[in-house]
Amino acid sequence: MFKKILIANRGEIACRIIKSARRMGIKTVAVYSEADRDAVHVAMADEAVLIGPPAAAQSYLLIDKIIDACKQTGAEAVHPGYGFLSEREAFPVALAKNGIVFIGPNPKAIAAMGDKIESKKAAAAAKVSTVPGYLGEIADSIQAMKIADEIGYPVMIKASAGGGGKGMRIAWSREEVKEGFDLSRSEAKSSFGDDRMFVEKFIVNPRHIEIQVLGDKHGNVVYLGERECSIQRRNQKVVEEAPSPLLDERTRKAMGEQAVALARAVGYDSAGTVEFVAGQDRSFFFLEMNTRLQVEHPVTEMITGIDLVEQMIKVAAGEKLPFAQKDIKLSGWAVESRIYAEDPYRNFLPSIGRLVKYRPPAEGVADGVTVRNDTGVEEGGEISMYYDPMIAKLVTHAPTRAQAIQAQAEALDAFCIDGIQHNIPFLTSLMQHPRWREGNLSTGFIKEEYPDGFIPRPPAGEEQEVMAAVSACIDHLNNARRRHIDQQMTGKPVAFAKRRVVRLGDTEVRLDVAGGDGQPVQVTLVGKDGAPGRTFEVNSTWAPGDSVWHGRIGDRVASVQVRPALNGYNLAYRGVHAIARVYTEREAALAALMPVKAAADTSKLLLCPMPGLVKAIHVEQGQDVKAGDTLAVVEAMKMENVLRAERDGVVKIINAKAGDSLAVDAVILEFV
């Protein structure tokens, strides 16, 4: 076994690999760019080596820098994680020339499977069912349009070296093929250094299901069940689960055996993933093979009890797999949510900045439920514009799917992040979605269920009751604490009103609050006519300054995000967000008379929707533009975002140029 390995990656996956290496008694070496000097993975590793400037092309993607770091530290092997050099055939070849072991598949397998065009040819030869498409390299958008016309719309445009949703677009017409091909090619070039593209038929209403395979250097290959990865946005996975609610044992076995046959055909000898697009009728077609560890590997680890990173290291050291196919048993259900630095209220555009607060839910096992959080950040750390926007992967495991989803919902409610925008509000809302809970999924789920983007629903029913009770109890606690301030004026004690009116957006909840001051708080709901309704007890250890209210409301356990707001509290619970203002009845009557402040008019401005780099300005001063015309392209976190005109107009002033770095809401253009 190796004594020391180097991790040629960063962030949560580098931390994940270090954890397994530690358990195995293996020393670790981290590499880092100047932007990652204070990163968590650097502190976790036994040694760390600086390899260059922030841009990945000048640091994490440079093979020579990685090899120099190995020589400098005496690392015997390299784990590439995912992304960066993990599927670059030249990387293991260069390592081997320098006597360094690659913890991953052999170069021939990477060449055959890592290239999406070649992998489809290999799959067809191995009699694996494949999606109709053009398997050759496409020269330009004109050829792409001709091929798309022959295949039939819609089509999927993909980068041959792609992954993680980069360099990938769906096109429903010739015009979309032309624009999508050029944009995808540009993204592929900047993300992978490889702009080869191909086109294939897009299966309507599909599901994305993948099979985890694991092989060794002695010819043994097994499959470890499947993962459902259909909840995607812009071709980027958002939520994954294992197993899939679609598959039965027969389909699982058929997909697994095809995946193993393909792996054997190319002599695969590490952890890898064979991805399929599946119809709702359980038909399936080979999509691609990822010759590396997948982002979503934790859900497979949870249902199989197998540490995939550990197995990769052992296989690379020449050990045989310690189990056969008959030994693989699936137990329970696991759900993973990817927590991204992005603004769900601005169509999920990237967000960067400092993590003023980062407090994930407690990890561990309780009552048969496991909570796991794979992360590479810490409170006070910075989310930069140079890398992927992932903050963490929150995983829950339970005996059933319903229990795993409920555990995930509760863990997300308790996950506190401040300082940047993040997608937890969307994820918590998704966990309550009836269609998700039913398992009626497709890759179009988010687009179909959130056609206008994520718009948080107003509190209603149980959410309204919980948020009103929490805000009233917090207000009651604060009043009780004021009673104990010393040096107060003598005289008649202040009497606090029992009745509270909680305004949540446009609705009001009336309730009576009593008790507290070390005892449970008694809350009684009050009808519009003033008649008392149901009474329940509220228990919590919340103290002023806590960002999350944990407690029991009647017979319900709840976690509610709490932030201070003027005369109230900013609350978030189960995807519902509201400003809760707590009044006495007299205060509520007066507050209703206050004028509402109107928002500033920005209809004649093009604002930068996220922090990013201006790639191009497509208009000139004085130019007439029509609704839908491209105005500018802004790049953030390796994704190019096209900004279009919302209505007809005339460009008055251009405030930015290509190459400018802009903050969110910076004015790019002004219109007459």
The Cα 159–Cα 182 span in angstroms is 11
Buried b (16+ CB within 10 A) or exposed e, 28-65: bbbbbbebbeebbbbebbebbbebbebebeebbbbbeb
CATH 3.30.470.20 in the chain, residue ranges: 122-127+208-331, 339-453
The rounded percent of the chain whose pLDDT value lies above 90 is: 73
pLDDT at 171 over 80: yes
Class of domain 4-103: alpha beta
> What architecture is the 122-127+208-331 domain classified under in CATH?
2-Layer Sandwich (3.30)
pLDDT band, residue 638 (cuts 50/70/90): low
Higher pLDDT, 96 or 385: 96
Coil, strand or helix: which one is 470? helix
Token representation of residue 172:
């429903």
Tens of pLDDT, residues 29-48: 999 999 999 999 999 999 99
What superfamily in CATH does domain 132-201 come from? Answer: ATP-grasp fold, A domain (3.30.1490.20)
Tens of pLDDT, residues 299-340: 999 999 999 999 999 999 999 999 999 999 999 999 999 999
Least confident window among 90-104, 411-425, 518-532, 633-647: 633-647
Q: Which of 100, 181, 172 is nearest to 142 (CA)?
A: 181
Class of domain 461-483+495-591: alpha beta
Q: Note the CATH number of domain 605-671.
A: 2.40.50.100
pLDDT at 496 over 90: no
pLDDT at 649 over 70: yes
- Mean per-residue pLDDT over the chain, rounded: 92
Tens of pLDDT, residues 437-460: 999 999 999 999 999 889 888 898
C-alpha distance from residue 409 to each of 403, 429, 446, 534 (Å) = 10, 9, 17, 26
Token representation of residue 1:
């076994």
Distance, CA of 135 to chain centre? 30
What superfamily in CATH does domain 339-453 come from? Answer: ATP-grasp fold, B domain (3.30.470.20)
Distance, CA of 353 to chain centre? 17
Helix, strand, coil % (nearest 5) of the chain?
A: 30, 35, 40
Adjacent-strand bridge partners of 603: none
The Cα 301–Cα 311 span in angstroms is 11
CATH 3.30.700.30 in the chain, residue ranges: 461-483+495-591
Q: What is the mean pLDDT of residues 39-62?
A: 96
Q: What is the mean pLDDT of residues 245-256?
A: 97
pLDDT for position 52: 96
Q: What is the mean pLDDT of residues 43-57?
A: 96
pLDDT for position 354: 93
Q: What is the mean pLDDT of residues 511-526?
A: 89
The Cα 259–Cα 227 span in angstroms is 13
The Cα 576–Cα 425 span in angstroms is 7
Residues classed as catalytic:
288
C-alpha distance from residue 231 to each of 178, 297, 336, 407 (Å) = 27, 16, 11, 18
Asked if 265 contacts 221 with a C-beta cutoff of 8 angstroms, the reply is no
pLDDT for position 249: 96
pLDDT at 570 over 80: yes
The Cα 550–Cα 453 span in angstroms is 30
pLDDT for position 164: 67
CATH 3.30.1490.20 in the chain, residue ranges: 132-201
CATH 2.40.50.100 in the chain, residue ranges: 605-671
β-sheet with 4-7: strand ranges across:
47-52, 27-33, 4-7, 77-79, 101-102
pLDDT at 178 over 80: yes
pLDDT band, residue 375 (cuts 50/70/90): very high
Phi first, then psi, for residue 623 (nearest 5°) are -75, 140
pTM, two decimal places: 0.84
